[in-house]
Structure 1
């Protein structure tokens, strides 16, 4: 089972636009549902010289070979440098600063020559921009000029997990295709096919998004999760100083870069969300296996306290990329958490 079988409805909606392509499509949906894979496959099918009846690329023609090698003359992928392994490795080797997490204005301006030359074999020209929310206002305004005056035979494919962060003027110039969450049964089956153990747990932690669940399961998150849950389950009995020391040690011991302060705050946000749900008599969404413990903790707190704590987490997440003192930040978080009970 591949990701397209989980998103058959979205794939068919994309195929419905082949006969009369708009100048811009915006694929939206929760992170980890397969939006980028769908967009890439749709682009491949449009560029393919012999696509199948289902719209998929043949994988054998010259166009497919060029695309596979990353040098198709009518395709450009625009994404943050940090998402490009080659650029990130080059920066590490040359000692340059960390690659950008944003799509830069220079990347968008660099499309000018590409957009103003004829297409190869009179086909379609495609710009795939992912993730679209990685553009700042200046970059988005630079892209807007191309969207407002579209070139013939040109398709912009924008992919976004946070469409509300896009400029309204960008969204208004795109036709939107929603990529929904697949059914839990189909997503669990897909995870099993990917050899992900305990797929149901990771699927719940990912909010039902199968690609994100597979990413989390394979990124060494289990150690951080186990350490964090061991502390959060203590409620009022939590020792904030000891908890902060343990989580700091866990984060610093990781050499892969997958365990970060930002990820820690995200897990806290999901735990807090489940506390709020259970406090209102609803089932937990993320930590389903810990429902009983969450129920006991929620009974000794209040929805207002939990909501205020979540507001604090939003502030800390915004600062989590560059905490001035990791230990102090963690201590403050755990003291605020203990105060819930």
Structure 2
């Protein structure tokens, strides 16, 4: 795509062109697995809708005043709704004074929901006249983070949109959305890029051990890059099952509880695969060499990890929780001895 909203994700170029050529209504819903760039595509689509280039085929051009404003996060006709917990990660954090930031930090953890107040603001925004005379665009990501009240607040505007309003919603869990929301949007399903394309892109980002980290992320390239940004390298990933089997709490030192649980679920999944003679998905088979894990214990360990994952927002003592998780891993990975 020619605009700068998502220039480095080549697998999004075809979906963007398809959407621009086939768009039928005022609302689009992008659905696909996490880690492939739904937000980047949603932003590129919004930029294309707002682009002021005279040739429609060239939108988003990346060079007009409107595209420049989108890239600077200051376009007056674009409203991006994100949970507080994702705003900084996606580069869309609202500016705030130092005192406001300290007050927010002291008050509570950033919310993972898109709150009803934000949707009310979006409804009001959509009803206003376009500042630049092209369109008003509301972007909601991830749409499944709207609770029932928030979603119903948006629903009426989706049913009867003001003339210049357009909406782009992106989701990693399309079935979690209200059927009434889904039915009022043009659905575009997104597939992950091929392994070769994802690996080539990661290598172009300067990521060492791209193939290993891509497997670690379930073949999702943005998730693989995030693992690298969190300090994980290919060698450490390959050594992880053996270190857990040895009871090394240091293998997870500094990890958040949600990341540790997600990683241990991958270890458990692949240990189960190896135990029944199947090919592991996230780790090379050699990573489990010498480990003797029993099927009943691995099954019970997987169930316990799912239970912990359901309560990952609990105010755990991270150090004690990681010790407990590593102890469980050690027992399960030696359970056949």
Q: TM-score scaled by structure 1?
A: 0.82
Displacement of 1:203 in angstroms is 0.7
Q: Of 186, 211, 235, which residue of structure 2 is paired with 1:200?
A: 211
- Equivalent position of 1:273 in the other structure: 269
State yes or no: 1:319 paired with 2:311: yes
Distance 2:265 2:129 in 1: 49
Q: Superposition RMSD on alpha carbons, in Å?
A: 2.8
Q: In structure 1, list runs of 5 or more residues that go unmatched.
A: 252-258
Match of 2:64 in 1: 61
1:229 aligns with 2:223: no
Q: 87-96 or 173-182: which moved more?
A: 87-96
Contact 1:278 1:295 in 2 (8 A): no
For the 8 Å contact 2:239–2:287, the answer to whether it is kept is: no
CA distance in 1, matches of 2:55, 2:8: 18
Number of paired residues?
319
* Deviates further, 84-93 or 200-209: 84-93
Q: Which has the higher helix share?
A: 1
Residue 42 of structure 2 corresponds to: 39
Alpha-carbon distance in 2 for matches of 1:145, 1:281: 53
Match among 12, 22, 45 for residue 7 of structure 1: 12
Q: Cα 1:323–1:207, aligned 2, differ >3 Å: closer, same or farther?
A: same
Q: Does 1:301 align with 2:294?
A: yes
Q: Could you tell me how far apart the structure 2 residues matched to 1:307 and 1:296 are?
A: 19
Alpha-carbon deviation of 1:204? 0.7
Q: Which of 63, 67, 73 is the matching residue for 2:76?
A: 73
Taking a change above 3 Å as real, the CA distance of residues 189 and 160 of structure 1, as seen in their structure-2 partners, is same
- Identify the residue that residue 82 of structure 1 maps to in structure 2: 85
Q: Please tell me whether the aligned partners of residues 27 and 186 of structure 2 are also in contact (alpha carbons under 8 angstroms).
A: yes
For residues 3 and 80 of structure 1, the distance between their equivalents in structure 2, rounded to whole angstroms, comes to: 24
CA distance in 2 between partners of 1:335 and 1:69 (Å): 48
What CA distance in whole angstroms lies between the structure 1 residues aligned with 2:27 and 2:299?
A: 38
Query: 2-side partners of 1:87 and 1:118: how far apart?
Result: 23
How much has 1:40 moved relative to structure 2? 0.8
Residue 54 of structure 1: how far off its partner (Å): 4.9
Note the residue ranges of structure 2 that are not aligned, 5 or more in a row. 2-6
Deviation at 1:188, TM superposition (A): 0.9
Classify 1:339/1:112 alpha carbon distance in 2 versus 1 (closer, same or farther; 3 Å): same
Secondary structure, counterpart of 1:50 in structure 2: coil
Pick from 11, 26, 29 the counterpart of residue 29 of structure 2: 26
Equivalent residue for 2:4?
Answer: none
SS of alignment partner, residue 166 of structure 2: strand
Cα 1:227–1:186 shift into 2, 3 Å = closer
Structure 1 Cα separation of the partners of residues 54 and 224 of structure 2 = 31
- Range with greater deviation from structure 2 (123-132 or 317-326): 317-326
Contact 1:41 1:57 in 2 (8 A): yes
Look up the match of 1:160: 171
Aligned to 1:92: 101
1:12-45 superposed Cα distances (whole Å, 9 cap, x missing partner): 3212234x3x222111112111221111111111
SS of aligned partner of 2:112: coil
Runs of 4+ in 1 over 6 A off after TM superposition: none
Tell me how far 1:216 sits from its aligned partner. Answer: 1.3
Structure 2 match to 1:330:
322
Shift in alpha-carbon separation, 1:66–1:337, aligned structure 2, 3 A: closer
Instruction: Say whether residues 1:102 and 2:113 are aligned partners.
Output: yes
SS at match of 2:168: strand
More deviation, 160-169/310-319: 160-169
Secondary structure at the residue paired with 2:28? strand
